[in-house]
Amino acid sequence: MRGKLDLLWVYAGLFIVFLYGPVLLMPVFALNDGTFATFPLKGFTLKNFSAMAANTSMILAFQNSLKIAVFVAVLSTALAIPAALALTRFRLPGGAAIQSFMMLPLVIPSIVIAVALLVIILKILGIGLSLWTVAAGHVIVCLPFCISVLMSRLEGFDPSLEEASRDLGCGAWQTFWRLTFPLALPGVISSLLMGFIISFDEFVIAFFLTGTETTLPVYLFSQLRFPNKLPGVLALGSLILVGSALLVIAAEVIRKRGVASSNPGDL
């Protein structure tokens, strides 16, 4: 039994190294005093981060991604709240099928969604590509994640509280704002953070639907053709890696706050 447990730990360690090892090397190479990301390192320096800050094109792409991510996070969460309420509080005819349909973007490859949206936007709607088209595509991708987060939160507290509120004379709207929304607020914040992260990091849909203004992932991909641009890309990628990890952790902690759990490891 002890031997099997040791093998399980070895397997888990190798799995983590295989999955996250290449990503964790990015900050190391970002501090490397050299053009190419190779070993041995030539030395440690912070000049790559200062060069990144002086790159106006990169900063503009960063601002575009930031604007899109904030807009997509707010809109996706606003659309996900009534959807999650309907799926958790009412017995809808074909509710399981409706939920499965809403979750389809989770299993459909992003490139399929991107090509389909490109054809619809250009050939059917006749709309030019811009940051707005990128945002529309990101909403489609982020919405299932936001619904899942909010559903897990709404299922975490007793719905009889809402029934008691209505018995005491509150209408549906008053019950939502005075009871349901405050209790679901950690899930709403978690949904906002999750939508922001997914939209900010998304590449495939942005690559197909962007116009003259590019998002940060598309810009970084275009810079990989130039070896002298690689250190700045690694520096910015390192900062995004750390920021994304912190946001994911914060989203999960906030989502679980106030939800009863039998797992002593949950916060």
Q: What is the pLDDT of residues 150-194, one digit of tens each?
A: 888 877 666 676 667 766 667 667 777 777 777 778 888 888 988
Domain-located, residue 12: no
Domain-located, residue 32: no
Q: What is the pLDDT of residues 133-154, one digit of tens each?
A: 999 999 999 999 999 888 888 7
Domain-located, residue 222: yes
Tally of domains in the chain? 1
Range of the domain at 54: 42-256
Query: Domain containing 222 — which CATH number?
Result: 1.10.3720.10
Per DSSP (E only), the strands in the chain are: none
Percent of the chain whose pLDDT exceeds 90: 16
In whole angstroms, give the CA distance from residue 150 to residue 51: 41
The answer on pLDDT for 77 being more than 90 is yes
Domain-located, residue 265: no
Contacts 24+ apart (CB under 8 A), 100-103: 102/143, 102/144, 102/147, 103/144, 103/147, 103/148
Domain-located, residue 1: no
Which of 59-73, 102-116, 249-263 has the least mean pLDDT?
Answer: 249-263
Domain-located, residue 145: yes
For residue 30, give the 3-state DSSP assignment: helix
Domain-located, residue 7: no
Q: What is the mean pLDDT of the chain?
A: 79
Please report the pLDDT score of residue 2 as a whole number. Answer: 64
**How confident is residue 222, by pLDDT bands cut at 50, 70 and 90?**
confident
Q: Which residues of 18-51 are buried (b: 16+ CB within 10 A; e: fewer)?
A: eeeeeeeebbebbbbeeeebeeeeeeeeeebbee
Q: What is the pLDDT of residues 21-52, one digit of tens each?
A: 777 777 777 777 666 666 676 767 777 777 77
Q: What is the pLDDT of residues 94-129, one digit of tens each?
A: 767 877 888 888 888 889 999 999 999 988 888 888
The answer on pLDDT for 263 being more than 60 is no
Domain-located, residue 29: no
